[in-house]
Structure 1
């Protein structure tokens, strides 16, 4: 059980929602309760989410756990996006909302991750993730680039 609300508290909430003491909480009762908590959802969406017209106590616990996990996932996704925005701004040196080949190469060089002497530029890296072929990376393209797993080191033993 999640530490957010104790099992005893969840049981009390369930009993308070079960107005007719039949051991079930209807989706309508749950919708009204969520609305009082400030959680805005339509009755139709809640019915789809719950998948039935009423919940027994065990179903109520599963519903609660699903809601907690969804909330945690939202927070993690939000934190990840914030980190990506910050990273994007590091590479977008002129602040125009795009990462050019020159900007990418400059930042990678400053980080010691690009050898200026090689004569190569970052065009291949940009081209690989530049979905609209405009020669620069916008935030969505950058986000996609950052979510691609890095290839495993392919070192051959000698």
Structure 2
């Protein structure tokens, strides 16, 4: 079970596409980031996207590209760059974890997960989703919440 399957990504895309033009613009993406507490300017997003807007297939490709692990066959000339990217990836994961860890105790509880998903417009009581079941999939120590390592494993396993 993956928390972000194609249906979930389609729902996120549709929520981001506020003007309904079938494209997610930099402004629409920035709206989502601001909603979850991540501050970027539109100018900072432009180099990341490489274009002013994304259709759904490009959005999926963008999601895949930012969430996939790098190929293990890396040439020695790019090892420094990859090490820097891995450091940035870890830093990005820490920031993402902090978005969900609302009380700052180092764990993501069911209530925190539901709160953040609700703020993103991705939680629907009638959908039958159970945040305890979502957490249980990656909760290796069975304490009912996610610590950073479990969260990191979840992010890499949902690729």
- Partner Cα separation in structure 2 for residue 75 and residue 134 of structure 1: 33
Query: Which position in structure 2 is the counterpart of 1:20?
Result: none
Query: Which position in structure 2 is the counterpart of 1:70?
Result: 79
Unaligned runs of 5+ in 1: 1-64, 151-158
SS at match of 2:137: helix
SS at match of 1:86: helix
| Aligned 8 A contact 1:100 1:135 in 2 | yes
- Partner Cα separation in structure 2 for residue 122 and residue 143 of structure 1: 17
Question: Do structure 1's residue 90 and structure 2's residue 99 form an aligned pair?
Answer: yes
- Partner Cα separation in structure 2 for residue 108 and residue 66 of structure 1: 39
What TM-score comes out, normalization by structure 2 length? 0.50
Which structure ranks higher in relative contact order (CA pairs < 8 Å, sequence separation ≥ 6)? 2
Question: Do structure 1's residue 100 and structure 2's residue 128 form an aligned pair?
Answer: no
Question: Do structure 1's residue 142 and structure 2's residue 112 form an aligned pair?
Answer: no
Please report the RMSD computed on the Cα atoms of aligned residues, expressed in angstroms: 1.8
- Partner Cα separation in structure 2 for residue 89 and residue 133 of structure 1: 21
- Partner Cα separation in structure 1 for residue 130 and residue 158 of structure 2: 22
1:69 Cα deviation from its structure 2 partner: 1.5
Larger gyration radius, structure 1 or structure 2? 1
Q: Deviations over 1:121-148 (max 9, x none)?
A: 3011100000000111000000111112
- Equivalent residue pairs, number: 86
What TM-score comes out, normalization by structure 1 length? 0.50
1:66 Cα deviation from its structure 2 partner: 4.6
Unaligned runs of 5+ in 2: 1-73
- Partner Cα separation in structure 1 for residue 111 and residue 122 of structure 2: 14
- Partner Cα separation in structure 1 for residue 90 and residue 130 of structure 2: 28
Query: Which position in structure 2 is the counterpart of 1:80?
Result: 89
